[in-house]
C-alpha cells in the first residue's frame, strides 16, 4: 500500500545544528496544585530519554482489552488524525487524536473486537497548509534478522552494509527506508533529517539488546533525503553522528548522510569483470598512475574548481590510456571532511566523496575505465580515523571503534584514533568496507595505507607510551589477525582483485599467503628500493662510484616479497621537491638523470607506480590546491619525458621478459653489478619461454662506445628503447641496426655483443626471435 503525501511539500532542512532533545516547556505562572500531570512515558519521550519507544508508541491493546490505543510523537504536528483501514486500505474510521502532552504526544483509543490489530495510517497537519499522510513507523516489526545480529557479533557478516545503514525498501506495501546501526552503549538513538525537521523526539529507534543494534523503518523517507543519527551516549552527551554505513554523504562542514540505493546503476563492464576473475597479476604487466582527483586538473575560469567524476571519466582516462598505464590508483576518495588530509582522515568508509559528484557518477568513472581496459585501485585507510564529532570517534559515548587507552587507541603524530582490532565488530566493519568497494563499485584492488603503523604497538612511540602484547612483544596481534582475515576475505569473495600493502619495515611475509604464515597481501610497496634509489640519484654522478651499493642492494631482497616499485606522492611533497628537482647537474643532466631513472625502474623486477605530474617532469612539488602544470608539455624536454613513459609502458606490456617473471628469480640475472668505477649496471630480463632483454644503465654523463656486453644466447639483438633518444629530448645516442653476438666470453656469458652505452642513460636490447 503506497501512502501519498498531500498538501504542501514538507520543508527540507539541510542544515544540521546540534539539537537538544530535552524540551523546556514553560507554563504560565500558576499555583503548584494546578500543574498538569502527564504520562511518564510521554514525558520521557519529550525529554529524549525513553528507553523503549516501541513499548509505548504504535498500536497496543487498551486497558479494558476491548480495543486498541495508538500513540504518536510528532512535536512538529498541529494535529493528527488516526485513519483506521479495512482490507482494501480504505478508511473506515477517522479519529482525531488527543494531544496528551503539549510537547507533541498524541493518543487515540478505539474499540476493535478482532484480536488482530487493524492497519492504520496518520493524517498529519503541520499548519500553514502543510500536511501529509503516512504509515506509523512504530507499527512495523523487527528489521534485522537473528542471523544478521549473530554474524555481526562474530565478526563474519561481510555483507553487513546490505542491512546496516539506510536502505530504501518496501515493507507490507509501504515504501520507506530502514535505518540500522551498531552502538551498544548508547542510551537512546533517533533518526533525524529533512523528514522530521531534525527533531530527535520524532523517531527514536528500537534497541536490539542482544546485538547492541538499533533499528527503525520510516515510511515515506526516500532517496536523496538527508539524515543523521542523534545519539545520547553512555556519557550523557548528545551528538549528531553521520551514519557509519552511509552510501552518500556531504563533505566539508556539511556532514549529513543522504539516503541512497546501491541498485540504480547499470554497469557495462561485463567483459572486464569476467576477465578480471581469472587474471594472474604476478605474470601480467601492472603499471600504475597514482592520482589525487582534486588536483590532477582544475578549471581556472570557473573558480579554479576541480573536475567532476564525469569530466575525469573523459579527460583523465584519455590521458592514462594514451600513456599506456594499466591501472590508476586513486588517493582516498572515501568521504573525508578535511581537504588538507588528502583523504587520509576518513569519516565515510562506504561513501565516495561528494566533492566530485554522486556515488553513481563515481561508478561511471570506474565503469568507463574498465571499458578502456584500465583497472582502478583505491587507497584505503584502516589504520586510523579522525576525532571529528560527527564521525566514528566515541560513537556511543564510549571508545567503541577505538581503544580507550591512548597508548593503544591514539596516533599522537597524526592526532587520530586507532581502530580496536581486537573487537569482532570493528574488524567486521572494516572488512565489509573493503569488500563493499570491490563488489559494489567494481574496484580492482586496495592499497592499504600505513601498514607499518598497524603492525607495531610501539610505532612512533617513546618508552612508556605503548603497551606490550600478551607475549611481551611489540607486534599488534589483533591488527595482524585483522589483516590476515581481510586478505582472505578479499581474495575469497572477489576473485582477480589485488591487495597491496604500503609497508616500510622488514616485517616478513607481508605478501606471502596466510596459509604460509604471511599476511596475505598480493603485493608490497618497495620502500627500500625507493629510498636507496632516490638517495643514489640525488648524488652528483662523480660521487656515485662510491655509493654503487645503494643502486644494487634492492636485488638482494627483490624476490623476498612481491614488490611494487613506487615513486608516490609522498616523494614530491612537504619540501622534498619534485623528482626533476632532485636530480643533480645542469638542466640537460637533470632531464637525462630522470629519463635514466624511469627506464631503469621499468627494467627492474617488480610492478611500477609513479605519481601524476612525474610523467611530464613537473618542476614544482605537488600542491593539492592546484592543478598539475600541464602547460609544461609545450616544452620539448617535458613532452619528451611523457613520450618516454608512453614507450616504457608499451615495451613493458608487450614484451614478456619485462613483466612475466617480475617476482621470480629466474626472470633476472646480473651481467655486471660491480662496475663501480664507471657506474655502469648491466643485467638480463627473461620470460618463461626464453624471451630475453639485455639492459645497460650508465649513471655518469660519460658515454661509453664499443662497450662489450655479455649475451646468454647467441643471435641478433636489437635496441628497443634508449632513454637518450632524441625522441625524448636526449642527445641522440643509439644502437641502430642489428647487434650480432660474437663467441667472446664476457660477464659470465659465452657470447657477447658490442654496444654504445648512452650518457646518463639506459638502453634495452632484445633478442630477435
Residues belonging to the active site? 449, 502
Helix (H) or strand (E) holding 693: strand 692-698
CA triple 733-547-704, angle to 5 deg: 20
User: Quick one: 395 exposed, middle or buried, by C-beta within 10 A (0-12, 13-18, 19+)?
Assistant: buried
C-alpha–C-alpha distance, residues 54 and 143, integer Å:
13
Kindly compute the dihedral angle of the four CA atoms of residues 57, 61, 62, 65, in this order, to the nearest 10 degrees: 180
C-alpha–C-alpha distance, residues 86 and 211, integer Å:
36
Nearby residues of 154 by Cβ (< 8 Å), 6 or more positions away: 424
CA triple 692-694-698, angle to 5 deg: 165
C-alpha–C-alpha distance, residues 272 and 141, integer Å:
42
Residues β-bridged to residue 653 = none
DSSP 182: E
Residues β-bridged to residue 68 = 61, 110
In 37-104 the beta strands, taken as DSSP E runs, fall at 58-61, 67-73, 79-85, 91-96, 98-101
**Within 13 Å of residue 139, how many CA atoms lie on the same side as its CB?**
22
End-to-end Cα spacing for the chain: 73
C-alpha–C-alpha distance, residues 556 and 532, integer Å:
13
User: Contact at 8 Å (CB) between 254 and 16?
Assistant: yes
What cell does 441 get? 563499485
DSSP 573: S
Number of H helices, E strands in the chain: 16, 38
For 234, left (φ over 0), alpha (ψ -120 to 50), or beta? alpha
What cell does 14 get? 539541510
Rounded to the nearest angstrom, the gap between the alpha carbon of residue 132 and the centroid of all alpha carbons in its chain is 40
Residue 515's nearest CA partner among 487, 478, 490, 557 is 487
Three-state SS sequence of 343-384 = CCCCCEEEEECCCCCCHHHHHHHHHHHHHCCCEEEEEECCCC
DSSP string, 611-679: ETTGGGT-SSPP-TTS---GGGGGSHHHHHHHHHHHHHHHHHHH-GGGTTTTTSGGGEEEEEEEETTTT
C-alpha–C-alpha distance, residues 467 and 469, integer Å:
7
Counting every residue written for the chain, the total comes to 769
C-alpha–C-alpha distance, residues 320 and 306, integer Å:
18
User: Contact at 8 Å (CB) between 161 and 441?
Assistant: no
C-alpha separations of 371 from 326, 469, 583 in Å: 12, 48, 38
In 220-371 the beta strands, taken as DSSP E runs, fall at 226-232, 238-241, 257-258, 287-291, 298-299, 305-306, 327-330, 334-335, 348-352
Amino acid at each position: 500500500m503506497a501512502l501519498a503525501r498531500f498538501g504542501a511539500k514538507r520543508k527540507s532542512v539541510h542544515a544540521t545544528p546540534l539539537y537538544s532533545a530535552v524540551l523546556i516547556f514553560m507554563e504560565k505562572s500558576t499555583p503548584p496544585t494546578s500543574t498538569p500531570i502527564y504520562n511518564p512515558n510521554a514525558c520521557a519521550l519529550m525529554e529524549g530519554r525513553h528507553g523503549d519507544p516501541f513499548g509505548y508508541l504504535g498500536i497496543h491493546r487498551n486497558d479494558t482489552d476491548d480495543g486498541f490505543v495508538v500513540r504518536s510523537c510528532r512535536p512538529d504536528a498541529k494535529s493528527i488524525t488516526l485513519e483506521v483501514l479495512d482490507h482494501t486500505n480504505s478508511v473506515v474510521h477517522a479519529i482525531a487524536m488527543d494531544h496528551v502532552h503539549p510537547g507533541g504526544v498524541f493518543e487515540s483509543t478505539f474499540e476493535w473486537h478482532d484480536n488482530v490489530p487493524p492497519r492504520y495510517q496518520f493524517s498529519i497537519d503541520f499548519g500553514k497548509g502543510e500536511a501529509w499522510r503516512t504509515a506509523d513507523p512504530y507499527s512495523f516489526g523487527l528489521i534485522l534478522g537473528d542471523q544478521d545480529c549473530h554474524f555481526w557479533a562474530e565478526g563474519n557478516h561481510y555483507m553487513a552494509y546490505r542491512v546496516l545503514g539506510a536502505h530504501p525498501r518496501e515493507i507490507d506495501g509501504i515504501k520507506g527506508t530502514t535505518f540500522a546501526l551498531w552502538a551498544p552503549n548508547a542510551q537512546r538513538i533517533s533518526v533525524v533529517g529533512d523528514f522530521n525537521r531534525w527533531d530527535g523526539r520524532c523517531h527514536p529507534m528500537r534497541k536490539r539488546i542482544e546485538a547492541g543494534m538499533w533499528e527503525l523503518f520510516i515510511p515515506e523517507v526516500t532517496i536523496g533525503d538527508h539524515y543523521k543519527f542523534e545519539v545520547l551516549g553512555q556519557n550523557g552527551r548528545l551528538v549528531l553522528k553521520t551514519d557509519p554505513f552511509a552510501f552518500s554523504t556531504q563533505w566539508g562542514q556539511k556532514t549529513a548522510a543522504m539516503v541512497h540505493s546501491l541498485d540504480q546503476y547499470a554497469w557495462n563492464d561485463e567483459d572486464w569483470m569476467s576477465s578480471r576473475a581469472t587474471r594472474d597479476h604476478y605474470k601480467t604487466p601492472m603499471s600504475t598512475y597514482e592520482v589525487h582527483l582534486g588536483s590532477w586538473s582544475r578549471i581556472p575560469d570557473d573558480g579554479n574548481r576541480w573536475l567532476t567524476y564525469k569530466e575525469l571519466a573523459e579527460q583523465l582516462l584519455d590521458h592514462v590510456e594514451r600513456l599506456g598505464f594499466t591501472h590508476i590508483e586513486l588517493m582516498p576518495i572515501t568521504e573525508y571532511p578535511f581537504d588538507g588530509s588528502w583523504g587520509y582522515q576518513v569519516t565515510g568508509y562506504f561513501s565516495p566523496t561528494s566533492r566530485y559528484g554522486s556515488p553513481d557518477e563515481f561508478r561511471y568513472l570506474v565503469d568507463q575505465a574498465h571499458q578502456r581496459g584500465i583497472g582502478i585501485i583505491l587507497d584505503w585507510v584502516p589504520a586510523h580515523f579522525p576525532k571529528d564529532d560527527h564521525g566514528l570517534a566515541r560513537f556511543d559515548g564510549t571508545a567503541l571503534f577505538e581503544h580507550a587507552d591512548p597508548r593503544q587507541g591514539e596516533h599522537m603524530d597524526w592526532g587520530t584514533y586507532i581502530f580496536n582490532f581486537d573487537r569482532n565488530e570493528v574488524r567486521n566493519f572494516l572488512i565489509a568496507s573493503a569488500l563493499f568497494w570491490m563488489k559494489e563499485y567494481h574496484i580492482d584492488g586496495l592499497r592499504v595505507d600505513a601498514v607499518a603503523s598497524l603492525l607495531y604497538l610501539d610505532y612512533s612511540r617513546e618508552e612508556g607510551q605503548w603497551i606490550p602484547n600478551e607475549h611481551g612483544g611489540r607486534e599488534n596481534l589483533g591488527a595482524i589477525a585483522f589483516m590476515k582475515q581481510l586478505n582472505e576475505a578479499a581474495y575469497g569473495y572477489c576473485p582477480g582483485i589485488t591487495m597491496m600493502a604500503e609497508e616500510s619495515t622488514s616485517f616478513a611475509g607481508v605478501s606471502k599467503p596466510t596459509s604460509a604464515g604471511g599476511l596475505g597481501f598480493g603485493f608490497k610497496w618497495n620502500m627500500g628500493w625507493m629510498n636507496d634509489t632516490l638517495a643514489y640519484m640525488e648524488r652528483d654522478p662523480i660521487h656515485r662510484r662510491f655509493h654503487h651499493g645503494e643502486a644494487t642492494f634492492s636485488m638482494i631482497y627483490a624476490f623476498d616479497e612481491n614488490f611494487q616499485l613506487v615513486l608516490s606522492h609522498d616523494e614530491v611533497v612537504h619540501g622534498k621537491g619534485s623528482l626533476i628537482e632532485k636530480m643533480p647537474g645542469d638542466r640537460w643532466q637533470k632531464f637525462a638523470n630522470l629519463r635514466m631513472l624511469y627506464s631503469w625502474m621499468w627494467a627492474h623486477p617488480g610492478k611500477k607506480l609513479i605519481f601524476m605530474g612525474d610523467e611530464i617532469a613537473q618542476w614544482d612539488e605537488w600542491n593539492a590546491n592546484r592543478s598539475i602544470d600541464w602547460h609544461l608539455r609545450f616544452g620539448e624536454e617535458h613532452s619528451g619525458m611523457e613520450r618516454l613513459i608512453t614507450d616504457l609502458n608499451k615495451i613493458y606490456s608487450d614484451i614478456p621478459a619485462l613483466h612475466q617473471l617480475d617476482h621470480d628469480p629466474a626472470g633476472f640475472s646480473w651481467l655486471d653489478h660491480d662496475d663501480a668505477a664507471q657506474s655502469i649496471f648491466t643485467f638480463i630480463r627473461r620470460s618463461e619461454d626464453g624471451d630475453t632483454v639485455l639492459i645497460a644503465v650508465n649513471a655518469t654523463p660519460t658515454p661509453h662506445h664499443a662497450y662489450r656486453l655479455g649475451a646468454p644466447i647467441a643471435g641478433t639483438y636489437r635496441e628497443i628503447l634508449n632513454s637518450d633518444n632524441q625522441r625524448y629530448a636526449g642527445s641522440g645516442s643509439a644502437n641502430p641496426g642489428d647487434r650480432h653476438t660474437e663467441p667472446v666470453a664476457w660477464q659470465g656469458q659465452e657470447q657477447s655483443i658490442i654496444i654504445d652505452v648512452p650518457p646518463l642513460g639506459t638502453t634495452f636490447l632484445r633478442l630477435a626471435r
